[in-house]
Amino acid sequence: MPAKDIFHNTVRLALEKDGWLITKDPLYIKVGGSEMYIDLAAEQLIAAQKDNQSIAVEIKSFLQESEMSEFHVALGQFLNYRLALKQTLPNFVLYLAVPTDTYNTFFRRPFIQDALEEYQLKLLIFDPKTEEISSWKP
């Protein structure tokens, strides 16, 4: 099993504060002879629709020297995990969790914004200090 990101517990707590029930930590997927571990799986009951919303969350700290290298890894994982979910758990929506300061600097760059749009990455932006979700980006 892979090591947990430095912000793993922070994001878990932020999701719980936001009303999410953590169902897997980590979410194990085996598809096409490959095994993968997505950091978290969570569910939330949407009262108005009487339906469960299920998400999977991959957490990235972006604390290394090269944010671009970390983004390459995160993007590759995101695309592979999304395909694996589509094949095994199609009702799950995948999110990439990133700290607020990283979103406000690195993720605001035009090229990164283009990549987010091109590859349809969904973001969960969290504040590591307050341990709360700042926003969701579709």
- The answer to whether position 96 is within a domain reads yes
- Is 2 within the bounds of a domain? no
CB crowding 51-80: b at 16 or more within 10 Å, else e: eeebbbbbbbbbeeeebeebbeebbebbee
The contacts of residue 59 (CB under 8 Å, 6+ apart) are 4, 5, 7, 8, 11, 39, 40, 97
Number of structural domains in the chain: 1
Max CA pair span of the chain: 45
Q: Is residue 27 part of a domain?
A: yes
Q: What is the pLDDT along the chain (138 residues), one digit of tens a residue?
A: 677 889 999 999 999 999 999 999 999 999 999 999 999 999 986 655 446 789 999 999 998 889 999 999 999 999 999 999 999 999 999 999 999 999 999 999 999 999 999 999 999 999 999 999 999 998
For the stretch 31-48, pLDDT in tens is 999 999 999 999 986 655
CA 13 vs. chain centroid, Å, equals 14
CATH number where 27 lies: 3.40.1350.10
- Whether 104 maps to a domain, the answer reads yes
Model pTM greater than 0.95?
Answer: no
List the structure tokens of 119. Answer: 């590859």
Q: Average pLDDT over the chain, rounded to whole?
A: 93
Per the structure, the complete domain to which residue 77 belongs is given by: 8-137
